[in-house]
Amino acid sequence: MSFSFDIEKKSTEVNLARAGVIHTPHGDIQTPAFITVGTKATVKSLTPEDVSKYVGSQAVLANTYHLYLQPGDEIVSKHGGFAKMMNWQKDNKPLPTFTDSGGFQVFSLGQALGHGVSKIATSEEISKRETIEETSNHEKLAHIDDDGVTFNSVVDGSKHRFTPEISMQIQHNLGADIFFAFDECTSPLAPKDYQRKAISRTYEWAKRSLAEHKKLGVSKATGEVQALFGIVQGGAYEDLRKESAHHMAELDFDGYGIGGSFTKEDMGNAVRWVNEILPENKPRHLLGIGEPIDILLGIENGIDTFDCVSPTRIARNGAIYTYDGRINLHNAKFREDMSPLSDDASWYTHKYTKSYVAHLFKADEMLASTLASIHNLKFLTTLCEDARKHIISGTFLKFKEDFIKRYYKTGE
């Protein structure tokens, strides 16, 4: 069985939104869908059963950079791929997986390291970018050239090199159903001419990724066909985004990722510029995004799948999503709040009070991270499921507006 994508229903209200199904050798993904991040072949603080059963995640995304360094992609391959290694399945049936190419680490361990630079910037920060000078070579853990990236391991400091070819070889060992071309993710604070250079480099790397993938054939780990997605870059610039989208659209990828940096205000626009160009019949993944509002904007503008560390990261630090906005369980007012974490009785986290989970956070208990992570992942997973239903029933816009009205009513 191989890879394909069916569009089940195009939105009757907005041009780009659609509900679909991604078929993979390890099961289907109903889209739009939130893909849970398990960087090192584990979703932090959760068992695979938590993720499949209590969250209901359809797929997990792991990272090439991290698994290459630890435990090493050859070991992952000996397990039959990272899905098997981490026991990612439900009722003994395999579930789909993604791997990211390691391109993002070029940014997060390179230009961004030590600067507190996020890939999401405000336009204000971008206008002040000249105050951010080039990081000195001693501080950076990654150095980019046209052929690839040389970097130092965050595990032990040892020196390594990624090229598009090496990323493909590693990802064939990791064995995900869907994996990404090796790209360069730029800082939102990088000047435009650098971002222009980065999209042509990403284009060259995309062609090399595709060629290497074809040469390698099926996954070494699973013996199955893998789908390769090309990545569109271009920062917050409309012309660069469109140029990059045209680059990728002309290549024979199975689907597309939209990566890189956006301004908070322009994310929906950037996604629309790109998705109006990308071929309609191929799935589109928005890399590393999702706050609830961003997910709705992405779906409206033609995104099929998302992944994001935010739900689990903020969960580990005490924050959870609610339909009335994000709350911080460290706040004193939750000490005696007897209401359930989730109002929905069908959710696993309905059984726990805010007071209890707040206590777990204050006591520094591991279960706090577990419960909050289950909750936040369930929230985003459900958000995507609900969006899907409303696209099919033709009521997406009202659903989106109602959600946003309620979510932002109380704060921000």
Partner RNA sequence: UCCGCAGUAGCUCAGCGGUAGAGCAGUUCCCUGUUAAGGAAUUGGUCGUAGGUUCGAUCCCUACCUGCGGAG
Write out the catalytic residue numbers.
Answer: 100, 307
Amino acid identity, residue 293? I
DSSP state of 289: -
Of residues 127, 137, 332, 405, which one binds RNA by CB under 7 A? 332
Piece of 204-212, 272-280, 311-319, 402-410 that binds RNA (CB under 7 A): 311-319
Residue 113 engages RNA in binding (rule: CB under 7 A):
yes
Residue 389 engages RNA in binding (rule: CB under 7 A):
no
Which residue from 130, 108, 215, 237 is spatially nearest to 166, judged by alpha carbons? 215
Contact status, residue 198 vs residue 186, Cβ threshold 8 Å: yes
Q: Which residues, 6+ apart, have CB-to-CB distance to 216 below 8 Å? A: 168, 169, 172
- Nearer to RNA among residue 306 and residue 352 (C-beta): 306
Amino acid identity, residue 53? K
Residue 135 engages RNA in binding (rule: CB under 7 A):
no
| Number of alpha carbons in the 13 Å side-chain half-sphere of residue 357 | 30
Count the site residues for RNA by CB under 7 A.
59
H/E element holding 60? strand 60-63
Residue 109 engages RNA in binding (rule: CB under 7 A):
yes
Residue 283 engages RNA in binding (rule: CB under 7 A):
no
C-alpha 183, offset from chain centre: 15
Contact status, residue 309 vs residue 37, Cβ threshold 8 Å: yes
Of residues 10, 197, 316, 350, which one binds RNA by CB under 7 A? 316
Amino acid identity, residue 349? T
Piece of 86-94, 110-118, 168-176, 398-406 that binds RNA (CB under 7 A): 110-118
CB atoms within 10 A of CB 211: 13
Piece of 2-10, 12-20, 177-185, 336-344 that binds RNA (CB under 7 A): 177-185
- Binding residues vs RNA (CB under 7 A): 37, 39, 43-44, 61, 63, 66, 100-101, 103-105, 107-109, 113-114, 118-120, 141, 154, 180, 183, 185, 231, 233, 257, 259-260, 264, 287-291, 294, 307-310, 312-314, 316-319, 328, 330-333, 335, 362, 364, 366, 369, 412
